[in-house]
Structure 1
């Protein structure tokens, strides 16, 4: 006697097992091994799977040369922003507080500014009393060197956390709070 429901039950059991594995691992389908995307879009990367960060280099809002390697040995929060981005305006006070609180503990912020003109970026930095530098990147080219799949959006703001060895450990799309920053940096410092 044929049992037509046996193949159906086998397929159902497989689907439930697959969903369980995905839920347990914290990753979504298509996410590379060692990458864990949370429900809020935050991505954390296991130590062994972390890609090397791009150099993030150029002139800052005052025309001085700046690059990621200036912060070698530190955990760096790289935040892409624009003075015309409303979510950026909302998150900058948290980034400023976080930078001031964590700088002596080896964690710094490096901005990547997407404004067309340096004057706009400089005015914004002064308005928010930003104590950290920002690389001018009006064309958004700094992020072209990122490996595929690290960001879930192309909009601003975007935040990456680079570990002390210069590897990308976490990313977040959208505004970040101090609490979210603490989680991203904790993931980057875990080894």
Structure 2
């Protein structure tokens, strides 16, 4: 039996996995019962009213630079947690925008924090160097930290996923799929409202 070369099935598999995150958002959006205090924008971004936000679990571990990374270290700031992997095409598309966004907002109480799902720390480090990632990125090869953070908010079956944590450490917004700067700005604005 003839084997399919990896150059054929790896991009297809990556596209299917990334698309899975979007499916999870669509299913939640179409939920006829809904959850009080939660709403979805036309682009699928979940926004949570300030009175209904729950505290984000403290994710922690080693970063791509070898230093310890801890979400709770950013308390008092709005934190954009972007879950990514080097093999994810949409992650490659949005990373330059996230790097720019980090630079533009660093004096405004907003920080970007990456959460990497690669099995190989070397792949994650190479990606971070290639894209000049100026923000910390936590290594999470088994996805344990991601599942803790995203539980009940978005599907953990695809990437990229972005969650926005308000200055009080509560999850304020969540979205799956590649971000535009407008979509990110809208989520950050929602997180800062009522915090």
Under a length normalisation based on structure 2, what TM-score does the superposition of the two structures give? 0.81
- The alpha-carbon distance between structure 1 residues 148 and 32, as it changes in their structure 2 partners (threshold 3 A), is farther
1:109-188 matches, within 5 Å, as: 109-146=112-149, 148-152=151-155, 154-188=157-191
Structure 1 or 2, whichever has the larger Rg, is 1
- C-alpha separation in 1, matches of 2:82 and 2:122: 19
Contact 1:27 1:35 in 2 (8 A): no
Quote the RMSD (CA, aligned, Å). 1.6
Contact 2:147 2:156 in 1 (8 A): no
Normalised by the size of structure 1, how large is the TM-score?
0.83
**Alignment length (residue pairs):** 166
Q: Distance in 2 between matches of 1:165 and 1:110?
A: 16
User: Could you list the runs of 5+ residues in structure 2 that have no partner in the other structure?
Assistant: 1-28
Task: Give the Å deviation of 1:148.
Answer: 4.3
Q: 2:89 aligns with which of 86, 89, 108?
A: 86
Alpha-carbon separation, structure 1, partners of 2:43 and 2:31: 12
Distance 2:99 2:61 in 1: 21
Does the 8 A contact of 2:40 with 2:47 survive in 1? yes
Higher relative contact order (CA 8 A, sep 6+): 2
Counterpart position of 1:4: none
Indicate yes or no: 2:64 matched with 1:67: no
